[in-house]
Amino acid sequence: MTTEDVSPRYLDLDLWETVEALKAFHEDQLAAVAAVGPALPAIAAAVDAAAPRLRRGGRLVYAGAGTSARIGVQDGAELFPTFNWPRDRVAFAIAGGERALLQAIENAEDSSADGAARIREIGVGPNDVVLGLAASGATPFTIGAVKAAKERGAMTVGIANNPGSQLLEVSDHPILIDTGAEPIAGSTRLKAGTAQKVVLNLFSTMVMVRLGNVYLGLMVNMRPTNEKLRRRAVQMVITLAGCAADVAAAAIANSEGDVRLAVLLARGIEKGAAQALLEKHDGNLRLSMAEIASR
């Protein structure tokens, strides 16, 4: 496994000046981001396959151990505030359980049966999209989870940093990010972890775009849960509806914080008709606005 290789460049790392070492680490981080480039077609294919399942009510399920699990949890947790993705439509299969997010759990990643059991426990089904992450691509827990999910009809995505690894072989959508040897051999929280985070950023953001949660570059399905977000919501309505600030603020209040609905209200659409229009277009504001423009 290349992620376990010793890099000749770093053999005397402990003797380097601090700034010299940090420059080298930084260069490797840039290389990790660049390693995602060749995987873009595979990521795009996974997005396009996932969106219809999620549109039918499926869940995003992140499976992994150690660093990979923590990266998955970060990505999934951020979908709630950014896109108002329902909390019950994200699930996690974490080797060692939630306790493993804060501390290492001995041998937790070594059981494929535990990975499969967790998939059964959370009731993975045909509309779900399961993302298995493992830098090595050989983590038994993650492979077991992905295999079990596939058997239950779910779509599976494998994200790994070693070519030819088993996780890639068992996944419907294998995504290889070949980051090579780490600055510290085997410490995949460095290059491999950075690349995995980039892949998840791209995948989940583009999925949310495909599901209509972004319009004109704005997160229109965001829910304003604090003062900063309330200001942002009002500004979005001003921008999208072309209205005054007081009209936007009133629309946000009348829509109970639903930016998409508030935009239509600020455009003069009656609330019931606006709700029906959004429902007709599965919440897609662009399609709703296009219908208004065509009338």
Give which of 249, 262, 254, 174 is closest to 218, Cα–Cα. Answer: 262
Other beta carbons within 10 Å of 227: 8
Question: Which one is catalytic: 4, 20, 78, 98?
Answer: 78
78 is catalytic: yes
**Coil, strand or helix at 119:** helix
Tokens of 51: 């969106």
Report DSSP state, residue 5. S
Considering 109, 151, 169, 227, which one is annotated as catalytic? 109
What is the Cα–Cα distance from 282 to 221, expressed in whole angstroms?
12
The burial class, CB within 10 Å (0-12 / 13-18 / 19+), for 275 is: middle
User: Phi/psi class of residue 97: alpha, beta or left (left: φ > 0; alpha: ψ in -120 to 50)?
Assistant: left
Q: Return the structure tokens found at 127.
A: 């509309």
For the annotated catalytic residues, the residue numbers are: 78, 109
